[in-house]
């Protein structure tokens, strides 16, 4: 495995771990925007606080999966380092 493949795999794992939180944030933002448009409430904290709380809760719920992904990726990198060292 060369450096480009390692870089591509790193970008892939970053996208894999970041995308679910971004999608949750997008859906929550869309729902709150629709609510604000319907009720004509234009408070900035109304969109920020629920999004922050719900995305944080989603990250806490998905933390074991994120940890497993990072652990697997790290073990693979350490295996590559050991194979290059010999």
Q: How does pLDDT run across 24-74, given as a tens digit for each residue?
A: 999 999 999 898 889 888 777 778 888 999 999 999 999 999 999 999 999
- The structure's pTM equals 0.76
CB of 17 closer than 8 Å to CB of 69: yes
Angstrom distances, CA of residue 17 to CA of 14, 23, 31, 60, 69: 5, 11, 23, 13, 8
């Amino acid at each position: 495995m060369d450096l480009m493949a390692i870089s591509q795999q790193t970008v892939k794992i970053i996208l894999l771990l970041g995308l679910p939180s971004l999608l949750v944030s997008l859906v929550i933002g869309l729902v709150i925007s629709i609510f604000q448009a319907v009720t004509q409430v234009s408070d900035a904290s109304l969109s920020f606080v629920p999004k922050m709380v719900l995305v944080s809760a989603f990250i806490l719920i998905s933390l074991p999966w994120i940890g497993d992904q990072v652990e697997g990726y790290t073990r693979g990198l350490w295996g590559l380092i050991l194979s290059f060292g010999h």
